[in-house]
Amino acid sequence: MTLARLDNEVFFKKAFTDEIVFKAFVRDIVGIEVNPDRIETEKAFQPKLGNINFKYDIFAEDSKKRIVIEIQKVEYDGSDRRHNFDRFLHYHLQAITEQQRTSEDYTVEKTVYTIVLMTAPYKINEKTREIYKDEVLISNLNPKNLKGIERKLFNHELIYLNPNYKGQDTPLNYRDWLDLIYESIHHPENPTLNTTNEGVKRASEIVSYENITPDEWEQSKIEASKRKVIKLEREAGSEEKAIQIAKNLLQTALSNEEIAKHTGLTIRQIEELRNVKE
């Protein structure tokens, strides 16, 4: 079996809008059973809330259980990594606050789960200078008292998944899906998957080459071309920003190697900048 890459928007949506795949994925990642009324793509609330044009890659709602599930796919492309974390926090909060339009009080009746699939490695956070290497990150809105005890006032969760940092202790319910994403990108012709997981098995069958239509192949090529153009544009801007950061770091006692590590520039580029400075 050869898989189509799940970092392509066309194949990603083809797999995860399938009801069986969607329900299995949510069950494994969030730990709840859902029966969505419908599964939508490019969901936008109208009229929009605030000044940001929100669109959810995949959006589904289980009205009986008052649960809203969003799935977002993002491929890091050389721009500010923190921006993506901020952006998806906004998406998550948008789905919560949007409920106030029809509510007579401040009660939020529907629990919101936002799952973000990141298909490329993280890089240095420009604000904190940290490198995040986590397969799974989970955030909720529950407060803690001064003893550090969490009070479960809300059930909302924002979950980030990144298959590029394989953890030895990652539970199987996450591992199966993380491997599906990773293998489709890095070993599509000979993927190693846990096909005893029925959701993963079905997803892999949906995006296997023999089940991709000519029209879907054409759309996937258009999508890939768009990504390349955007990546080239952002990389150009990112290098300019890295050079400016390097110039600032040259004022410190950091070595060329350390500055290169923090900026992503080469040692040769740092040496050239230092020579110009001198």
143 and 264 both lie in a single domain: no
- The conformation of residue 194, written as its DSSP 8-state character, comes to -
193 within domain boundaries = yes
206 within domain boundaries = yes
Query: For residues 112 and 65, is the Cβ–Cβ distance under 8 A?
Result: no
Instruction: Give me the domain span that covers residue 242.
Output: 225-278
Query: For residues 24 and 199, is the Cβ–Cβ distance under 8 A?
Result: yes
168 and 199 both lie in a single domain: yes
**b/e burial code for range 86-122 (CB count within 10 A of at least 16 → b):** eebeebbbbbbebeeeeeeeeebebbbbbbbbbbeeb
Instruction: Give pTM, 2 decimals.
Output: 0.78
pLDDT at 11: 96
217 within domain boundaries = no
| Overall average pLDDT of the 236-259 stretch | 80
Is residue 41 very low, low, confident or very high in pLDDT (cuts 50, 70, 90)? very high
15 and 100 both lie in a single domain: yes
66 and 114 both lie in a single domain: yes
> How do residues 67-108 score in pLDDT, each as one tens digit?
999 998 887 544 444 457 888 888 899 889 888 776 666 778
* Count of domains observed in the chain: 2
Query: For residues 112 and 100, is the Cβ–Cβ distance under 8 A?
Result: no
pLDDT at 234 over 60: no
CB half-sphere exposure, 104, CA atoms < 13 A: 0
255 vs 34, higher pLDDT? 34
Tokens at 27, concatenated: 């069950």
> How do residues 143-175 score in pLDDT, each as one tens digit?
999 999 999 999 999 999 999 989 889 999 999
69 and 131 both lie in a single domain: yes
50 and 110 both lie in a single domain: yes
Q: Among 22, 99, 20, which residue's Cα sits nearest to residue 57?
A: 22
The lowest-confidence range among 41-50, 138-147, 207-216, 268-277 is 41-50
- Helix, strand, coil content of the chain in percent (nearest 5): 45, 15, 40
pLDDT at 197 over 90: yes
208 and 244 both lie in a single domain: no
pLDDT at 82: 47
78 and 177 both lie in a single domain: yes
